[in-house]
Amino acid sequence: MANTSPFNHRSSADEVLRNQNLSGQVIIVTGANTGIGFETARSLAAAGATVIATCRSTEKAAATQKRLMLANPASTVETAVMDLSSLASVSDFCNGLAHSKIDVIICNAGIVAPKYGETKEGFEQTVGVCHVGHFLLVKKLMPRLLSAPAPRVVMVSSESHRVPPRLNFDALPYPESQFRPMKSYGQAKLCNALMAVELQRRFAGQGLTACYVHPGTMVTTEIGRDSAIVRFAMWLVSPFTKTASQGAATSVFCATWDDRSELGGKYFSHCARAKPSAETANVEVAGRLWELSERWLGEKGYSEN
């Protein structure tokens, strides 16, 4: 497995972006109000990119805008409300976006739901937020991505994509009778990985590069915001895991690394190529997930680009 990255698990997002000039690039970061997402947005803005930081609410967007501008007063930052648990909110964000060109989308936002719940359109919320909302986002913005000279999509997956080892289409998204928090999360992260693989297969010929990343284990974030157990576990291990900036490093590495030939359809951890689960190599599964996701959108009235 070839790897020419000079970075490792200790590298921060700022170290990855040192001496880079991203002026002219427009980059969307989802879930940018806290943790890895905030550090991803902050570091890219500091490197000169126009960053569109999406947040779940108006209040979070306003607070994030203030924090990002305090961190880099000369940066170009836009914050916007986009709730990935609502396809209507995702669609409204895309329709209201003023930029005709998008260079990079970093699908960072996620959730570990401790108990069964549904998104606005009735999807189990972990798969709904992590996968379905991001699928609509990328699909609707694809024409703007493909208008960029070297567009990229970075899916923030996880080592949890390995468990369960196969995508269970009979329990996707999870019905309440079969719901288990970590199984649902694992399936959602596997969906993120397979989406990157299928994006690469479908759109590489039009210039798109897509890949998926593991940011680090139990890095401080709001992913466990609805679970006291997850929040406590993350607090407990925080002295022994990555900082939020180190957690953001692999995302910004994949968003900016010059050699796109090393990135396409691949899995990255610690700013380097990593070996994914066997299921991610199953092109039939990746294609079937794409078609199922399109059908879900069509059933909810969001089949158009």
Token output for 25: 């690039």
Tokens 């960072």 correspond to 108
Q: Which of 185, 212, 267, 302 is catalytic?
A: 185
Which neighbouring-strand residues pair with 28? 52, 105
Q: Is 267 among the residues known to form the active site?
A: no
- Give CB contacts under 8 A, 24+ apart, made by 220-223: 220/35, 220/244, 220/247, 221/34, 221/35, 221/36, 221/37, 221/247, 222/31, 222/33, 222/34, 222/35, 223/35, 223/110, 223/111, 223/112
Closest by CA to 209, choosing from 169, 160, 265, is 265
Nearest alpha-carbon partner for 75 in 27, 35, 116: 27
Q: How far is CA 219 from CA 13, 49, 121, 237, 302, in A?
A: 14, 25, 30, 9, 34
User: How far apart are alpha carbons 43 and 12 in whole angstroms?
Assistant: 9
Tokens representing 253 are: 């590495």
Listed residue (98, 187, 194) closest to 153, CA to CA: 194
CA distance 272 to 267: 8
Q: Which residues are catalytic?
A: 185
